[in-house]
Amino acid sequence: MLANRAVIERDAGGTKRTYLPFTDGGWSGCNLFYLGTPQALKAVDFWKRLEAERKRPWKMAAILGPGALAAFLLRRLTLQGAVEKLGRLAGVRAAAVPSPFGLAAVDVDKPADLDFVRKVVGEA
């Protein structure tokens, strides 16, 4: 699951997120995955390789192959195109599920995020 920058800014404005730039907007991961079959577990190791490069999107595109890297550098890589390529390389059927909730992209890995979440749930 991913959330679009506009949705995140609407629901969690002021938080710092990492956005992957695609032709159809900036997207941030929500750390929510559905693995519908045992075969889907193969995608986890591949995803770990990609996730390790999330601060360097061009490197993520390079892992997907030269065509994806070229499309990324030319600003023609779509989210759907990247996910389809990821699925083919991992040997699974993959799909991006856009979240209508920007808060889904907020994880608590920095003190500022914890402060934000406390405000959201009414503890601050």
pLDDT along the chain (124 residues), means of 10: 97 93 96 89 88 94 96 96 94 94 94 93 80
Q: Give the count of domains, the chain.
A: 2
Q: Does a structural domain hold residue 124?
A: no
- Whether 27 and 40 map to the same domain: the answer is no
pLDDT of residue 123: 77
Backbone angles phi, psi at 37, to 5 degrees: -140, 160
Say whether both 41 and 2 belong to one domain: no
Domain of 79, in residue numbers: 35-94
95 C-beta neighbours (distance < 10 Å), count: 9
Same-domain pairing of 10 and 53:
no
Residue 85 located in a structural domain: yes
Contact between 80 and 55 under an 8 Å Cβ cutoff? The reply is no
Side by side, the strands of the sheet bearing 20-22 are 2-4, 25-29, 20-22
Q: How many Cα neighbours within 13 Å face the side chain of 49?
A: 13
Q: Is 35 left (phi over 0), alpha (psi -120 to 50) or beta?
A: beta
Q: Are residues 78 and 102 in the same domain?
A: no
Task: Identify the pLDDT of residue 111.
Answer: 94
Q: What pLDDT shows up at residue 118?
A: 94
**41 occurs within a structural domain:** yes
Task: Evaluate whether residue 122 is within a structural domain.
Answer: no
pTM of the model: 0.88
Q: 59 and 90: one domain?
A: yes
Question: Which residue's entry shows tokens 């030319």?
Answer: 74
